[in-house]
Structure 1
């Protein structure tokens, strides 16, 4: 049986996860990274993507992460995310509408369109749909 570490995923609005887990895999800004108990301490930024972890029963869980930071300690991983959603809480219709809106904004090529913001909205919607 794998040794456990503690995972906390927190957003400005609420705590999303606070439990013991076997492994955490997160979307670091320099690439995906995995953490087991006893990992070397480090701090990194996160990009939009999927946070995966195995709970104490060995079941793999998925969360959408909208950027933020991760602190890794030998026995704990803390994720401070701009926003995060468990797989079962993702609203597919809302994500599809957000994807369509972002694609429309990008295809119109209007001068007043904030391209960076529209591209970020598109990445968030695509990742939500991919997780679901």
Structure 2
């Protein structure tokens, strides 16, 4: 069985190093891609979403929340350079719910907000929803 190794890095820390993966589901700006054995070499922009690393029969599956960045696939190595990333087991659900509520409250009245500020709160709400979804999925499995 051929495995990829996956590194997940952010500007502030290494999230995961050399994770074995039989396959991956990666959120990109053009949609989700499935990386299987002998995948073509690519460099692509990441979208905010959930990265799933399938360990196959030998290793546990792992899920990570990513917010934008770049993915590079070369030979049997996948490098994820994300603006932010966290593993599903690290999600603080209460903090995510509070963040979602704050973002939604701020978006109820956008008067006085610039386009950039509105976009910031929309992205913040999206990340919080994904964190909650990821944590609930992890708990149910």
User: TM-score range with shorter-chain normalisation?
Assistant: over 0.9
TM-score (norm 1): 0.93
Does the 8 Å contact 2:20/2:59 carry over to 1?
no
Is it true that 1:4 corresponds to 2:3 in the alignment?
yes
Report the CA distance between 1:110 and its aligned residue.
2.3
Is it true that 1:104 corresponds to 2:125 in the alignment?
no
2:50 alignment counterpart: 50
What are structure 1's unaligned runs of at least 5 residues?
A: none
After superposition, the CA RMSD in angstroms is 1.3
Report the CA distance between 1:58 and its aligned residue.
4.2
Is it true that 1:17 corresponds to 2:20 in the alignment?
no
- What does residue range 1-132 of structure 1 map to in structure 2 within 5 Å? 2-18=1-17, 19-55=19-55, 57-112=58-113, 114-132=117-135
Q: How many residue pairs end up in the alignment?
A: 131
Deviating above 6 A after TM superposition, structure 1's stretches of 4 or more consecutive aligned residues are none
Per residue, is there more strand in 1 or in 2? 1
